[in-house]
Each structure stands twice: as C-alpha cells, then as structure tokens.
Amino acid sequence: MEIKNIGFVGTGVMGSSMARHLKNAGFNVSVYNRTKSKAQPLIDEGMRWCDTPAEAAKDADVVISIVGYPKDVEEVYLGDKGILSTKAGGIVIDMTTSSPTLAKKIYEAAKAKGVSSLDAPVSGGDLGAKNGTLAIMVGGDEAAFNDARPVFEAMGKTINFFGPAGSGQYTKMANQIAIAAGMLGVAEALFYAKRMGLDPQKVLETIETGAAGSWSLSNLGRRMLKEDYAPGFYIKHFIKDMRIAIESAEEAGLELPGLLKTKELYDILSDKGMDDNGTQAIIKWYLNQ
C-alpha cells in the first residue's frame, strides 16, 4: 500500500510534533483540532486545515488521531462528522491512550466499512514526540501494521506489534502501571534526599547511573527539582489512564495496590486544581506535608 496523504486529528502537546515529523518525512498532512488556534502553527507550516474529522479523513490514505479521553475518541470516529462517517478503505490509527474495549469497537466498525483499524498508543511524552523517538505499541491486523510501518517510523523509534485489536492499549496500560509506581519512587527519593540535608541534584546525578536509573528519574526528576510543572503529560490524562488500567485489571480479577495508591495521590492533586500540571507535580504532595 502506498501512503501519500495523512489526515491528523488532534494537534495538542504530542500531536503537533508528531504531525510535523510526518510532514518532514514527505507525507501530505491535513489537520483537524477542536480548537483551531492550537493547529495554527502547523497550518502556517503548510499543512491543510480541515473543519471536521470527516474532512480530514475523506481523501487520506491513513488517518491518525491522538486526543484526550475515550469519549473524545468515540466522537472522533463514530460521531456524525467522525472519521468513519466518510472513510472507505485505507487505515485509521488511534494513538490516544484509550480503552481496549473501545479499540475493539472501532475495529469492528471500521472493518464493516472496509477500513483497517489499528490502536497504537505511544510512550515517551512531549520529549519523545519532539524528538521522534516515541515507543509505539500496536494492536489490530498485522498486514495493516506492516503497511503503516513507514508512518510509525516517522514518529517513533521502538515500534512493536502485539496482536489483535485492543492489544496496543493493553500494552500501554502495562506501561502506565510501571510509570505509576515509578513516579512515586522518584518523588519520594528526591523528597527524602532533601529532608536529610543532601543536595538532591547531586543525589539524582549519582543514583541515575546505577540500578535506580530510569527515564522518569532523569527527565521528570530534574523538572521536579527545578519546580517546573509544565505538562509533558497532564495529570488529568494520567488519572484517566490509571482509571482505564484499574478497570481492565478488575475485569481480569487482578489486584494492583501500587497503581491504586498512585491514583489516590494524583486524585488529591486533581481535587486541588492541578489537573493541567505535568505528572512530575506529584512532588508537591510530598513537599506540602
């Protein structure tokens, strides 16, 4: 399958960089975003504006979406002016972290129209999106995955196929579960170091080179120390992801106490009006003790 034209729905913190990489890779990119002003820099760079998701999908070989919540995904695909209201043939790829159950629903709706559907959530945050180094986890039909590989390669570095529809989302839930407890570990370590009279920056630079090293420690730990709470990934979206992970775990009869505790603390920050902070703002829970 030759892919030339891409419709891109959702040009937020992650989506803008991802759409830019696709254009730089030589694809013709059309964009839609609920708030047009957020897409204006991309329009100024030569991407075509579309008034609806349906318009973005109409002449596209591949349509990509990365929006906020499962309800947004459902509207973008299955709404009156959604992608599947006009799409016939080609591939649709939802890169939102969303519900595995919804991914399966969209897959079936797309299949009925002769459209291949992939769920392909990503990890790597705003830095991964900007640098084109995202980890991409894909579920759906393997033939469609193989056709779409050049598209994924323009945006990511680690790209893996995991199985039927929903598999990408299940993989992303595993990723978020690992991050959840890890975020508490990073915050607790730096908080502890500071309260014990150590230089937390020096502690970070030392322990990141050993067994405690992680992406969260090296990147978000530094933001914590600088009191930089700008979102690479919003607290409100992390809470959404944890909720989905908890629901899917409960469906499978699994107990995940680390995940439950992490969500409990982030819910406290949310109740204090911190939804639009980055996830590294969890350090505030400790500092405000």
Average pLDDT, the chain: 96
Question: Has residue 149 got a pLDDT over 80?
Answer: yes
Is residue 95 domain-shared with residue 18, that is, in the same domain? yes
Among 165, 199, 232, the domain boundary falls at 165
CA distance 224 to 220: 6
Among 115, 149, 165, the domain boundary falls at 165
Domain count, the chain: 2
Is residue 125 domain-shared with residue 181, that is, in the same domain? no
Average pLDDT over residues 232-255: 94
The CATH number linked to 200 is: 1.10.1040.10
Is residue 242 domain-shared with residue 217, that is, in the same domain? yes
What is the structure's pLDDT at 160?
98
- The rounded percent of the chain whose pLDDT value lies above 70 is 100
Is residue 149 domain-shared with residue 123, that is, in the same domain? yes
Is residue 45 domain-shared with residue 177, that is, in the same domain? no
Average pLDDT over residues 155-165: 98
Backbone phi, psi, residue 159, to 5°: -130, 115
Residue closest to 280 by CA, chosen among 234, 212, 248: 234
Is residue 229 domain-shared with residue 249, that is, in the same domain? yes
| DSSP 8-state class, residue 278 | B
Is residue 131 domain-shared with residue 13, that is, in the same domain? yes
pLDDT digits (tens, 9 = 90+) for 164-187: 999 999 999 999 999 999 999 999
Question: Has residue 29 got a pLDDT over 90?
Answer: yes
Is residue 77 domain-shared with residue 62, that is, in the same domain? yes
Going by their DSSP bridges, the two strands 48-49 and 28-32 should be labelled as parallel
Q: Can you give the pTM of this predicted structure?
A: 0.90
CA distance 197 to 161: 47
The single-letter code of the amino acid at 171 is T
CA distance 90 to 28: 15
Helix, strand, coil % in the chain, rounded to nearest 5: 55, 15, 30
Judge whether 23 counts as a catalytic residue. Answer: no
Among 165, 197, 216, the domain boundary falls at 165
Residue closest to 8 by CA, chosen among 55, 56, 70: 56
- Domain interval for residue 36: 5-165
CA distance 170 to 46: 36
Is residue 131 domain-shared with residue 75, that is, in the same domain? yes
What is the structure's pLDDT at 187?
98
Cα dihedral sign, 275-281-285-289: negative
DSSP-derived 3-state class of residue 217: helix
CA distance 242 to 245: 5
Residue with tokens 């779409």: 148
pLDDT digits (tens, 9 = 90+) for 87-103: 878 999 999 999 999 99
Active-site option among 23, 87, 172, 263: 172
Question: Has residue 289 got a pLDDT over 80?
Answer: no
pLDDT digits (tens, 9 = 90+) for 128-147: 999 999 999 999 999 999 99
What is the structure's pLDDT at 218?
97
Question: Has residue 13 got a pLDDT over 90?
Answer: no
Is residue 204 domain-shared with residue 272, that is, in the same domain? yes
Is residue 132 domain-shared with residue 69, that is, in the same domain? yes
The CATH number linked to 78 is: 3.40.50.720
DSSP-derived 3-state class of residue 243: helix
Is residue 150 domain-shared with residue 66, that is, in the same domain? yes
